[in-house]
């Protein structure tokens, strides 16, 4: 009996290694391996819930949430994709002029680079936390890569902070500041998505982890703990298709998108996955705590 169990484990372990050597998750190909392949990145948009669409390129998410009063856009991608993103919004049947709010997860260019153009097309209000508005303003004043002109950025518009909320079109969004990845980071909870009329609670964690520094690592601990306190999350709207260790078997957003395409009536919705989200939050807490220890060692403390 013992030998049987052991050999089963060996076979399972072998097939996992074999599979991972053979195929790279689609989300990783988009986010990492072919991140600079512009034409490849222009993947087909897809409907995720009755009121939610993925309209971004393959490496960075742009989520379009529709309501009876207009739409809310989460993040905006960056050039050279912005006109194409606007085209995607039209393609899924939404007039960009109906976008009333653009919610920016954090002040990195891949998320905020399209905000100015999409704001002009839509007339939407743009939301970010103060610290990341500062980053956005800095981006606008610095020349781009290889001497290119500074990217066009939106003017500081709505400044949100911890505990603020936005009630609009039947949505009761609640905002948290979860710094670490950047000095701001806007996390949105309470996003109501519907599958055949059945409601689910979604979250958009505006950026996990940190990018070096003891203070930033300590912030990322506090932020991960804050996200862990948010109960009842059923759907995780990742800001990138692939997050490396989001806990989803072999990938992230795009793998779920593929499953959604071939979903049969009565099958569970592949994006409704509270357990994987809870595991990801737990792992983020553990990693943040570890990072603090490492940064302390580095600093000789
Ligand atoms: Zn970032």
If you measure from the C-alpha of residue 109 to the centroid of ligand 1, how many angstroms do you get, rounded to a whole number? 8
pLDDT for 144 beyond 80? no
If you measure from the C-alpha of residue 207 to the centroid of ligand 1, how many angstroms do you get, rounded to a whole number? 6
pLDDT for 9 beyond 70? no
- 109-139: burial string, b at 16+ Cβ within 10 Å, e else: bbbbbbbbbbbebbebebbbbebbbbbbeeb
Question: For 41-74, what is each residue's pLDDT tens digit?
Answer: 999 999 999 999 999 999 999 999 999 999 999 9
Cα–Cα distance measured from residue 5 to residue 2, given in angstroms and rounded to the nearest whole number: 5
pLDDT for 122 beyond 80? yes
pLDDT for 261 beyond 90? yes
* Global pTM value: 0.90
If you measure from the C-alpha of residue 82 to the centroid of ligand 1, how many angstroms do you get, rounded to a whole number? 18
If you measure from the C-alpha of residue 237 to the centroid of ligand 1, how many angstroms do you get, rounded to a whole number? 15
Q: Give the mean pLDDT of the chain.
A: 90
If you measure from the C-alpha of residue 113 to the centroid of ligand 1, how many angstroms do you get, rounded to a whole number? 12
If you measure from the C-alpha of residue 205 to the centroid of ligand 1, how many angstroms do you get, rounded to a whole number? 11
Dig out the tokens for 83 from the structure: 């006109």
Beta bridge partners of 168: 171
If you measure from the C-alpha of residue 243 to the centroid of ligand 1, how many angstroms do you get, rounded to a whole number? 11
Question: For 180-196, what is each residue's pLDDT tens digit?
Answer: 999 999 999 999 999 99
If you measure from the C-alpha of residue 265 to the centroid of ligand 1, how many angstroms do you get, rounded to a whole number? 37
Beta bridge partners of 234: none
């Amino acid at each position: 009996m013992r030998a049987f169990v052991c050999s089963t484990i060996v076979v399972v372990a072998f097939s996992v290694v074999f599979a991972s050597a053979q195929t790279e998750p689609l989300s990783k190909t988009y986010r990492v391996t072919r991140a600079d392949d512009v034409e490849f990145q222009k993947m087909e948009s897809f409907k995720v819930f009755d009121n939610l669409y993925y309209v971004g390129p393959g490496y960075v998410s742009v989520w379009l949430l529709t309501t009876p009063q207009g739409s809310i856009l989460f993040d905006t991608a960056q050039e050279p994709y912005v006109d194409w993103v606007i085209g995607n919004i039209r393609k899924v049947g939404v007039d960009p002029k109906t976008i009333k709010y653009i919610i920016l997860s954090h002040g990195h260019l891949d998320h905020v680079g399209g905000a100015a153009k999409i704001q002009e097309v839509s007339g939407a209000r743009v939301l970010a936390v103060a610290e990341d508005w500062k980053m956005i303003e800095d981006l606008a004043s610095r020349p781009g890569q290889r001497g290119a002109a500074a990217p066009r950025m939106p003017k500081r518009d709505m400044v949100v902070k911890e505990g603020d909320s936005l009630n609009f079109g039947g949505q009761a969004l609640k905002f948290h500041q979860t710094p670490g990845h950047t000095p701001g980071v806007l996390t949105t909870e309470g996003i109501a998505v519907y599958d055949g009329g059945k409601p689910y609670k979604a979250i958009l964690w505006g950026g996990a982890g940190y990018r070096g520094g003891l203070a930033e690592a300590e912030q990322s601990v506090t932020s991960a703990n804050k996200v862990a306190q948010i109960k009842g999350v059923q759907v995780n709207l990742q800001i990138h298709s692939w997050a490396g260790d989001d806990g989803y078997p072999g990938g992230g957003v795009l793998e779920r998108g593929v499953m959604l395409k071939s979903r049969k009536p009565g099958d569970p919705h592949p994006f409704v996955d509270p357990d994987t989200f809870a595991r990801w939050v737990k792992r983020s807490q553990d990693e943040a705590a570890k990072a603090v220890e490492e940064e302390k060692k580095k600093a000789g403390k």
